[in-house]
Amino acid sequence: MATILLSAAGAALGAGFGGTVLGLSGAVIGRAIGATIGRAIDQKVLGGGSEAVDVGRIERFRVMGASEGSAIPQVWGRVRVSGQVIWASRFLDNVTRSGGGKGTPKRPATTSHAYTVSLAVALCEGPITRVGRVWADGNEVAPDKLNLRVYPGDLAQLPDPKIEAVEGTGNAPSYRGTAYVVIEDLDLSAYGNRVPQFSFEVLRQAQGATAEQFPGLAKVVPGVCLIPGTGEYALATTPVHYAIGPGVNRSANVNSTSGKTDFASSLEQLTEELPNAGGVSLVVSWFGNDLRCGSCAVAPKVEQKLHDGVGMPWQVSGLRRAAALEVPDQGAERGGQGGDVLSVPADGATGR
């Protein structure tokens, strides 16, 4: 708009002066000058002349505790520890540029910075059984999404390949006797471009000669009875959800940040904490309608009849959800609860 207005104004002003310069009339010269000034104003207003924008660039990083000479803690059982950073790589700046270029109006050139870092965190004296849950700034995160590697702290563990790749072959320590984790290429954008405060759930059995002489339950339990607390799909091995409405789904058997089914998570913890367990008895909960054993009828029931599991409709021996009875709600008549036990090997346990 400014180009058109100033071009006309310049032509009128140049015509008033009259005369010619190099064969060009005053009106032509005035129109050219006005158009040049107007174009500059238009570009400034419409963004073509905006300065480049820098997004996400920071000047200083703060890494969580890495105190030299800190004691290596000893833990037993199930403990939540924060650990100490024992190694960290340089921060990798991933630059993405957009905007600019030709055309009218031109978008401002934008440079976005995304940072990643790799670090190793010492947890405690090893060896440990496993690392369970992981928290970042107090919020639980899925270990599988962190590119996390766990070193139990035995006397045979080797250097981490990422540390060895950065420091050079033969220059990376093995940290034998110390349990630690390595998080490779941690994306910091979700944490405000800084390293979050991590804490880890560590499981460690009793150590020493006395523990070998009197082995704990983890070494002597031959099998367990797996009793689901509640849920129609508690024993399903694949994720199932309810379609509540358009774009509204509710998970039926995935209730942890791992993204795995509750049954799969339970078996994974079982194999790690009770390595000598060779069998699992699955208890499928049914329900009774009378407290008197002689008058009680035991049958499977459902929690609700409005929504069925997507991909795995509920059924028991041909009985489907629409024909099944509902579990009594709060305030309704309450009956006893029975159980149907099915024994299967631990490596092939399935059911719902």
Q: What is the pLDDT of residues 293-314, one digit of tens each?
A: 899 988 888 888 889 999 899 9
Residue recorded with tokens 């049958």:
299
Rg of the chain in Å (alpha carbons): 34
> Cβ of 323: how many Cβ atoms within 10 Å?
10
**Contact (CB, 8 A) for 236 and 266:** no
Average per-residue pLDDT for the chain: 80
Q: How far is CA 173 from the centre of its chain?
A: 29
Counting residues of the chain whose pLDDT is more than 90, the rounded percentage is: 25
SS3 332: coil
Given the DSSP bridges, would you call strands 279-288 and 223-226 parallel, antiparallel or unpaired? parallel
Give yes or no for residue 317 having a pLDDT over 90: no
pLDDT of amino acid 57:
63
Strand order in the sheet with 248-251: 248-251, 241-245, 309-310
* Confidence band, pLDDT 50/70/90 cuts, at residue 2: low
Give the residue extent of every domain in the chain. 2-46, 55-207, 218-348
Strand 107-125 versus strand 53-55 pairing type: parallel
H or E element that contains 285: strand 279-288
CB 291 within 8 A of CB 285: no
* pLDDT surpasses 60 at 126: yes
DSSP 186-212: EE-GGGTSS---EEEEEEE---SHHHH
